[in-house]
Amino acid sequence: MKLKLSEPDSSKLAGESGRAVQVAMSIMVRMARIQGASHLLSIVSSHIDSALYIGQSTLDYAENLVDLGAKVSVPTTLNVAGVDHQNWDRWAVPPEWAHKARRQMLAYRAMGCKPTWTCAPYQTEERPSYGDQIAWGESSAIVFANSVLGARSERYPDLLDICAAITGRVPAIGLHLAENRVGQVLVRLKSISVELLGSDEFYPVLGHHIGKLVGSRVAVFDAIDATPSEDQFKALGAAMASSGAAALFHWVGVTPEATTLQDTFGTKDPETVIDVSMSDLVQARNELSSSSSNELDMVVLGSPHFSLNELKALVPLIKGRSCDSDLRFLITTGRGVRLLAEEMGLIEELTAFGAEVTVDTCILTTPMLPPETRTIMTNSAKYAYYTPGLLSREVVFGSTEECVESAVIGKVLRDDRLWSV
């Protein structure tokens, strides 16, 4: 299919809006042709994963764009950076890494991006609306925006996302188009207890299991007697985008494009039907732990970043208690959420327990961990999935309550009663 450019697109490609726009548009046009797009379409916002420092090349790319005079043309938020800008020296981050990561942060700010520094931009004021065409990076954010909010984004990779923000244009392909947002795989549950359905732990485990089976196809969850919260959907989608490549799912009767089962599939039948049993979920839960020991060095919560509601729910679990002195308890969140939590007195309660609340970054992508930290416990399926490979650490998956109880006694403690087959 031949790509047809509008007059403004052709003008940008010819350099009439400056060298930076020309470079960004040439990249976008090249990608559109590779992907078989017939035209480009306009976006209303962008979320940039490229702000994460992972080496000299990402810094050079950002600073070269700044030198060319690049400015974003749509409201643009920033994903996690390479360091917590203010508190990086509390961890094992090498000073040279921190220096370059901060330079990269400054480069994206110079282009006009908003310093949100969060993998959960839907928790900020820059939250897209139903039907909005957007260009987002960060897999967990993309699947949330598409599925829970009904916005429309493809999975934008690093370096391409900022080109979309500069030009305000993207290829008209994939999930930008209504015909590609219909369901493909029907997911049903078999004999899952009401108690498990009501637990926060259920959603990341379900997401891990389904992500492996559907890959990038659109899953439709039907006939499930539960109305998940946004935080539960966040955990579900992040897990599906980690074990698989999910960018969109539907939950019949809850998510905006799934009023009925027929809405989600249109005139087509499901390609596949997946019946999820309790034994499937038990196996998925077990896969999320690489360690069978009860030894524990650290607890990590907030992958994706903890919301204000999650912080509120955590405080009653830790109030009046203390974390084991030999263990670190880390919560990652966004700047805006932390500020609200401080105003509400939540950070004071968490600090009294022994927790550390960091912002701006993600422990999966920053060299934060001291070498003596070997075993980590988390309530995040995404974090559990990536930790052994990315961080070369052992991991234990558990509920938030189990993470707290383990932190208090200094050893892994899990309650298997909800998971009885």
pLDDT confidence bin for 14, thresholds 50/70/90: very high
pLDDT (0 to 100) of residue 86: 83
Residues 259 and 303 in one domain: no
Res 157 pLDDT > 90: yes
CATH number at residue 328: 3.30.499.10
Residues 258 and 293 in one domain: no
Answer whether residue 400 is part of any domain: yes
pLDDT confidence bin for 191, thresholds 50/70/90: confident
pLDDT (0 to 100) of residue 87: 87
Q: What angle do CA 306, 307, 309 make, to 5 degrees?
A: 125
pLDDT (0 to 100) of residue 325: 95
pLDDT (0 to 100) of residue 345: 98
Residues 75 and 200 in one domain: no
Q: Identify whether the C-beta of residue 165 lies closer than 8 Å to the C-beta of residue 137.
A: no
Residues 250 and 364 in one domain: no
**Last residue of a domain, which of 233, 252, 286?**
286
Higher pLDDT, residue 284 or 224 = 284
Q: What angle do CA 263, 267, 269 make, to 5 degrees?
A: 95
Answer whether residue 420 is part of any domain: no
Residues 361 and 278 in one domain: no
Res 193 pLDDT > 80: yes
Domain range for residue 142?
7-175
How far is CA 85 from each of CA 91, 96, 274, 339, 366, rounded to the nearest angstrom? 12, 13, 44, 15, 12
Report d(CA 1, CA 172) in Å as an integer: 12
Answer whether residue 2 is part of any domain: no
Res 421 pLDDT > 80: no
Choose among 185, 183, 151, 193: nearest CA to 170.
151
pLDDT (0 to 100) of residue 303: 96
Give the number of domains in the chain.
Answer: 3
Residue 370 CB partners (closer than 8 Å, separation 6+): 91, 92
Res 406 pLDDT > 80: yes
Residue 46 CB partners (closer than 8 Å, separation 6+): 72, 74, 75, 76, 77, 134, 135, 136, 156, 161, 162, 164, 165
Residues 221 and 348 in one domain: no
Residue 280 corresponds to which tokens in the numbers above?
């499937």
What average pLDDT does the segment 323-330 reach?
97
Report d(CA 311, CA 337) in Å as an integer: 9
pLDDT in tens, 21-61: 999 999 999 999 999 999 999 999 999 999 999 999 999 99
Residues 409 and 308 in one domain: yes
Answer whether residue 334 is part of any domain: yes
Residues 158 and 272 in one domain: no
Answer whether residue 1 is part of any domain: no
pLDDT (0 to 100) of residue 197: 92
**Last residue of a domain, which of 232, 263, 286?**
286
> Burial, 293: exposed, middle or buried (Cβ in 10 Å; 0-12, 13-18, 19+)?
exposed
pLDDT (0 to 100) of residue 154: 98
Residue 304 corresponds to which tokens in the numbers above?
């994706």
How far is CA 405 from each of CA 156, 166, 193, 409, rounded to the nearest angstrom? 39, 47, 24, 7
Residue 192 corresponds to which tokens in the numbers above?
């899952």
Peptide bond into 128 cis (omega under 30): no
Report d(CA 329, CA 379) in Å as an integer: 12
Residues 17 and 129 in one domain: yes
Report d(CA 236, CA 11) in Å as an integer: 43
In three-state form (DSSP H/G/I as H, E/B as E, the rest C), the secondary structure along the chain is: CCCCCCHHHHHHHCCCCCHHHHHHHHHHHHHHHHHCCCCEEECCEEEECCCCCCCHHHHHHHHHHHHCCCCCCCCEEECCECCCCCCHHHCCCCHHHHHHHHHHHHHHHHCCCECCCCCCHHHCCCCCCCCCEEEECCHHHHHHHHHHHCCECCCCCCCHHHHHHHHCEEECCHHHCHHHCCCCEEEEECCCCHHHHCCCCHHHHHHHHHHHHHCCCCEEECCCCCCCCHHHHHHHHHHHHHHCCCCCEEECCCCCCCCCHHHHHCCCCCCEEEEECHHHHHHHHHHCCCCCCCECCEEEEEEEEECHHHHHHHHHHHCCCCCCCCCEEEEEECHHHHHHHHHCCHHHHHHHHCEEEEECECCCCCCCCCCCCCEEEECCHHHHHHHHHHHCCEEEECCHHHHHHHHHHCECCCCCHHHCC
Residue 170 CB partners (closer than 8 Å, separation 6+): 28, 40, 41, 43, 133, 135, 154, 156, 164, 176
Answer whether residue 159 is part of any domain: yes
What average pLDDT does the segment 191-196 reach?
90
pLDDT (0 to 100) of residue 34: 96
Residue 163 corresponds to which tokens in the numbers above?
């080109």
pLDDT (0 to 100) of residue 225: 86
Report d(CA 146, CA 385) in Å as an integer: 22
Residue 265 corresponds to which tokens in the numbers above?
């599939």
Residues 147 and 217 in one domain: no
pLDDT (0 to 100) of residue 334: 95
Answer whether residue 274 is part of any domain: yes
What average pLDDT does the segment 72-98 reach?
93
**Weakest-pLDDT range from 158-162, 193-197, 399-403:** 193-197
**Weakest-pLDDT range from 160-169, 275-284, 357-366:** 357-366
What average pLDDT does the segment 217-227 reach?
93
Res 204 pLDDT > 80: yes
Q: Identify whether the C-beta of residue 80 lies closer than 8 Å to the C-beta of residue 361.
A: yes
Residues 12 and 139 in one domain: yes
pLDDT confidence bin for 1, thresholds 50/70/90: confident
Residues 91 and 171 in one domain: yes
Answer whether residue 94 is part of any domain: yes
pLDDT confidence bin for 114, thresholds 50/70/90: very high
**Last residue of a domain, which of 230, 259, 286?**
286
pLDDT (0 to 100) of residue 387: 97
pLDDT (0 to 100) of residue 85: 84
